[in-house]
Amino acid sequence: MATSRLLRPAAAVFAATALLISGCSAGSSPPDPDASGVAREGGAERAADDGDAPVLNPLPTAVPGNLRPYYDQKLSWHDCGVAGFECATMKAPLDYAKPGADTDLKLAVARKKATGPGSRIGSLMVNPGGPGGSAIDYLTQYAPQPAAVRARYDMVAMDPRGVARSEPVECLSDKQMDSYTQTDATPDNPAEVTKLTRSYRAFAKGCQARSGKLLGHVSTIEAARDMDVLRAVLGDKKVTFVGASYGTFLGATYAGLYPSRVGRMVLDGAMNPALDSRTINIDQTTGFNTAFKAFADDCVKKKDCPLGTKNAEDAGKQLSALFKKLDAHPAETGQARPLTESLATTGVIAAMYDEQSWPLLREYLAQAKAGDGRGLLTLSDSYYERDLDGTYANQMYANPAVNCLDLPSTFNSPEQVRAALPNFRKASPVFGDQFAWSALNCAYWPAKPTGTRHRIEAKGAAPIVVVGTTRDPATPYIWAKGLADQLASGTLLTYVGDGHTAYGRGSDCIDSAINTYLLDGTVPPKNKRCT
């Protein structure tokens, strides 16, 4: 079962397999959002922003005395074992309201100093999203900043609290996680509903047992406060930041809390913090549907398309038929784990993040139709960050830990999911059920949510560049428009194309605009669009 609200750039999705893959969803698709920022949800228009949400208020600029030891700490840097990178450990309070050395968290930080030529501008922090993605892995392996940017900045990453090297949230054994990922996330009868809810409860219970004290303190607001401590420790007056996917929510939150400390900030594949969790899930379901239409339109033009050569709507029906077949008769994979409907759906969802994957996706769908599930299982494993030896990274544990704390649950009971299924199916006939039932996971979470939806205006902040891709499956374009509109200094940069996020993915227009902004502060022209 795919975890709800999992947001990350394509390179980070496929760290385990080094694959570049992209997009699928199903059925008829809504038209692309236009420059007005209006999109359609199940045939109805809604504005890109949600103006009735309260505004996130800035924190006081003065550092409280009880937090001064954290801001004044000195990092001890050492070789990371990766060429040119240094690592260190930064202390942060578990609870900013009650700091105390006996509960301090140890957060992992990495950097690569500016290489020159040219004068050093400062530190550039990066975050790849998730929530739960390792910023350090992203920096050392995938960060797209070109040589000209790396020459002028110390490149810096910190794994957020609860993630990877920074006090990671843990929940299940690897064998238990294997079982969890195979649970049928589109139940057809009461017995399957019971099995699914038991799975969610067992997952939550495992997280409580292994990471209890941490679960109430991995919110995005707390992670943003950690960023400010890191800023001070690095000796920077302002934060320069490039965030992708969920990393845009983290960056925007920082801007809302500390507007006067914002330097140059790029938010690529943006989220809209003013939305509630239900709207987020419906929008994302629609986004994956849009991505599928793009894939299907391309696929049906080819003689070898495993979903037929008729049209995108028929291709969606054929994909649904394949999932139904796997629900009844999972495909062999050469492993003890057959390809179930749930794993196959997750594999296709994983393949939505980068359009360069379309040939690979066609191949793996053809294999699955012939009874060979190895390809789609590989994609599913890459999404879950499951290594070949059967071990899982912590991203799938950190992801719900952050999401369930940041916003109240979309649904609180199976009955509420059933009532919402028509809307989700309208958003995506193939994937609607999967997204709706997956949104139930927070209902059983042991830590009560501490966050609510809010507008982020960040009045007084330096110009912030918000990047949106028109057919982005995971962070729909309407979200970028909404965030750019609410930020007092926001500028929208649009990529007209496919895939999740835009920077460093092949558009010279996008890359040039962002690199120029990072290097000399020149903001892209208003409403600039790139193809």
pLDDT tens digit sequence for 239-278: 999 999 999 999 999 999 999 999 999 999 999 999 999 9
Return the DSSP state at 461: P
Annotation says 406 is catalytic: no
- 83 has a pLDDT exceeding 50: yes
Measure the CA angle with vertex 6, ends 475 and 147; round to 5°. 70
Annotation says 245 is catalytic: yes
pLDDT at 21: 23
- 293 has a pLDDT exceeding 60: yes
Of 166, 211, 489, 500, the active-site residue reads 500
C-alpha–C-alpha distance, residues 285 and 294, integer Å: 15
pLDDT interval class at 9 (50, 70, 90): low
pLDDT at 51: 76
C-alpha–C-alpha distance, residues 169 and 399, integer Å: 9
CB atoms near residue 80 (< 10 Å): 17
pLDDT at 25: 27
Q: Are 490 and 484 in contact (CB under 8 A)?
A: yes
C-alpha–C-alpha distance, residues 224 and 209, integer Å: 26
pLDDT tens digits, one per residue of 360-414: 999 999 999 999 999 999 999 999 999 999 999 999 999 999 999 999 999 999 9
pLDDT at 5: 52
Rg, Å, the chain Cα set? 22
Backbone angles phi, psi at 104, to 5 degrees: -55, 145
Annotation says 472 is catalytic: yes
C-alpha–C-alpha distance, residues 207 and 3, integer Å: 15
- 214 has a pLDDT exceeding 90: yes
- 223 has a pLDDT exceeding 50: yes
C-alpha–C-alpha distance, residues 104 and 214, integer Å: 11
Q: Tell which phi-psi region holds residue 467, choosing left (phi > 0), alpha (psi between -120 and 50) or beta.
A: beta
C-alpha–C-alpha distance, residues 163 and 156, integer Å: 16
- 7 has a pLDDT exceeding 90: no
Q: Are 403 and 4 in contact (CB under 8 A)?
A: yes
pLDDT at 125: 98
Q: Taking all residues of the chain, what is their mean pLDDT, rounded to a whole number?
A: 91
pLDDT at 36: 33
Give the torsion sign (CA, 408, 410, 415, 419). Answer: positive
**Higher-pLDDT residue of 225, 37:** 225
Quote the pTM value: 0.92
pLDDT at 24: 26
**Higher-pLDDT residue of 444, 6:** 444
- 145 has a pLDDT exceeding 80: no
Calculate mean pLDDT across residues 483-505. Answer: 96
Point out the least confidently predicted range of 187-201, 343-357, 429-443.
Answer: 343-357
Point out the least confidently predicted range of 13-17, 202-206, 274-278, 507-511.
Answer: 13-17
Point out the least confidently predicted range of 10-19, 78-87, 274-283, 397-406.
Answer: 10-19
Say if residue 73 is exposed, middle or buried (CB neighbours under 10 Å; 0-12, 13-18, 19+): middle
Say if residue 496 is exposed, middle or buried (CB neighbours under 10 Å; 0-12, 13-18, 19+): middle
Q: What's the first-to-final CA gap in the chain, in angstroms?
A: 34
pLDDT interval class at 35 (50, 70, 90): very low
pLDDT interval class at 8 (50, 70, 90): low
Of 245, 277, 342, 489, the active-site residue reads 245
pLDDT at 142: 78
Q: What one-letter code names the amino acid at 91?
A: K
- 31 has a pLDDT exceeding 80: no
- 80 has a pLDDT exceeding 60: yes
**Residue 203: which of 398, 339, 378, 387 has the closest Cα?**
398
Backbone angles phi, psi at 196, to 5 degrees: -65, -45
Of 472, 485, 498, 511, the active-site residue reads 472
pLDDT at 176: 98
Q: Are 127 and 226 in contact (CB under 8 A)?
A: no
Which of 7-21, 341-355, 486-500 is predicted most confidently? Answer: 486-500
